Amino acid sequence: MTALGLGGLSQELRPRIKELRNSLSLIRENITAMMGLIMVLSIVIIALLAPVIAPPGLGDPMVIPKDFGDPQPPGAPGHLLGTGKWGSDMLYGLVWGARTSITIAVFVVFTAMIVGIMLGALSGYYGGKVDDIIMRLTDVFLSLPALILAMAIASILERTLINLMLALIIVWWPPYARLIRAQVLSVKENTYVEAARAIGASRNRILFKHIVPNSLSPIIVSVTMDMGAVVLVAAGLSYIGFGVETGYAEWGRMVSDGQQFFLSTVYYLGEPINPWWVVVFPGTMILLFTMGFSLLGDSLRDILDPRLRR
């Protein structure tokens, strides 16, 4: 019984696996896609290996260990990439910050996507009043720039990472709802949907088994691009003081913590130096993270669109 079930499953999956293989080989041929993929994978690996690269102390691993001194330059003993505010280790912050960013990106984008898919699918499939209500709701949300709406929401919430992500989810779902609705509207006209209806499949089954899975492909590009974009907005919010406290391993926060030293001089071994690294390093990480996903998403758009192939 089980074997038969699995056989049926693999039967169903076979064309999808073939398609996936095909797409993967196209990614391999595409230079920009590969560059993006390498950037993204490097950051993921850094995040996974964080406890190895920068072993945490006894306390919360997300809080950067510090020795309460002035910033020290890269190469200072025990600090490969130097130190920042309160003598917090840069390398540690950058490495564990990768975990924070990936958490934010995955959590916000996937939750927003699921909410968007649900509402967009209902809106497109049922039409009428449901459609009107959901679409007017997205209109309202889309009439405020994302950063500013997130600011307003975050301004009334307690400053924690979870609340920061919550504020971002609230502003992030409407474009997905729009996208899925448009897809559902066109997919539901297909003959196979009519066939499903003819054999008496329930409305929910038709919607979530037949229509939604076939409406998802344009979302892949959006999801990839948004992974980077959401980290960019999160860093901005965290820079103006939402989200996490000083000393937390989050790149936007690290830039804002380092800012006070950036246009000044500190003394290291009796020599005056400008601590450029306190701002340059975390900012570069944000740039690489966002750019990796933009490169990847941009190339995926071409790869996944069969009309643009070959």
Partner 1 sequence: MRLLNYIIRRLLLLIPVLLGVSIIVFTLTRITGNPAAAYINEKMSQSQIDQVFERYHFDEPIWTQFIYWLQGVIQGDWGWSRTASLPVTDAILKYFPATFELTILSIIIAVVIGILLGMSSAVRRNKPFDHVTRVVSLIGVSLPIFWLALILQFVFYYQLKWFPAGGRYDISFIISGVPRFTGFLLIDSLMVGNFNLFFNGIYHLILPAVTLSFGTIAIVTRIMRNSMLEVLNLDYIRTARAKGLSDRSVIWKHARKNAMIPTTTVIGLAFGGLLGGAVLTESIFYWPGLGRWSANSIRVLDSTSVIGFCLLVAFIYVIVNLAVDVMYAYLDPRVRLG
Q: Which is nearer to partner 1, 155 or 186 (CB)?
A: 155
Instruction: Determine the Cα–Cα distance for residues 258 and 155; give it in Å rounded to an integer.
Output: 23
What is the amino acid identity at position 198?
A
67 counts as binding partner 1 under rule CB under 8 A: no
Give the closest residue to 250 by CA, choosing from 153, 161, 149: 161
Q: Which range of residues in 73-81, 89-97, 136-144, 193-201 is near partner 1 by CB under 8 A?
A: 136-144
266 counts as binding partner 1 under rule CB under 8 A: no
Query: Out of 129, 136, 307, 310, which residue is the one contacting partner 1 (CB under 8 A)?
Result: 136
Radius of gyration of the chain (CA): 23
Binding residues for partner 1, rule CB under 8 A, total 43
155 counts as binding partner 1 under rule CB under 8 A: yes
Element (H, E) at 185: helix 161-187
Residue 63: strand pairing partners = 248
Query: Out of 108, 121, 153, 206, which residue is the one contacting partner 1 (CB under 8 A)?
Result: 153
115 counts as binding partner 1 under rule CB under 8 A: no
Query: Out of 95, 279, 296, 300, which residue is the one contacting partner 1 (CB under 8 A)?
Result: 279
Q: Which range of residues in 72-80, 146-154, 212-220, 301-309 is near partner 1 by CB under 8 A?
A: 146-154
The tokens describing 155, both together, are 């301004």
Q: What string of DSSP letters covers 67-131?
A: -S-----TTBTTBTT-B-GGGBBHHHHHHHHHHHHHHHHHHHHHHHHHHHHHHHHHHHHH-HHHH
173 counts as binding partner 1 under rule CB under 8 A: no
How far is CA 94 from its chain centroid?
17
Q: Determine the angle formed by the axes of helices 277-304 and 31-48, rounding to 10 degrees.
A: 130
Could you give the 3-state DSSP secondary structure of residue 58? coil
Q: Which is nearer to partner 1, 156 or 198 (CB)?
A: 156
Helices and strands (H and E) in the chain: how many: 13, 2
Kindly state the greatest CA–CA separation across the chain: 84
Q: Which is nearer to partner 1, 41 or 240 (CB)?
A: 240
Query: Out of 145, 194, 213, 309, which residue is the one contacting partner 1 (CB under 8 A)?
Result: 145
Could you give the 3-state DSSP secondary structure of residue 282? helix
Q: Which range of residues in 53-61, 63-71, 118-126, 275-283 is near partner 1 by CB under 8 A?
A: 275-283
Within 223-262, which residues bind partner 1 (CB under 8 A)?
Answer: 228, 232, 235-236, 239-242, 252, 255-256, 259, 262
Site residues (vs partner 1, CB under 8 A): 136-137, 139-140, 143-149, 151-156, 228, 232, 235-236, 239-242, 252, 255-256, 259, 262-263, 274, 276, 279-280, 283, 286-287, 290-291, 294-295, 298
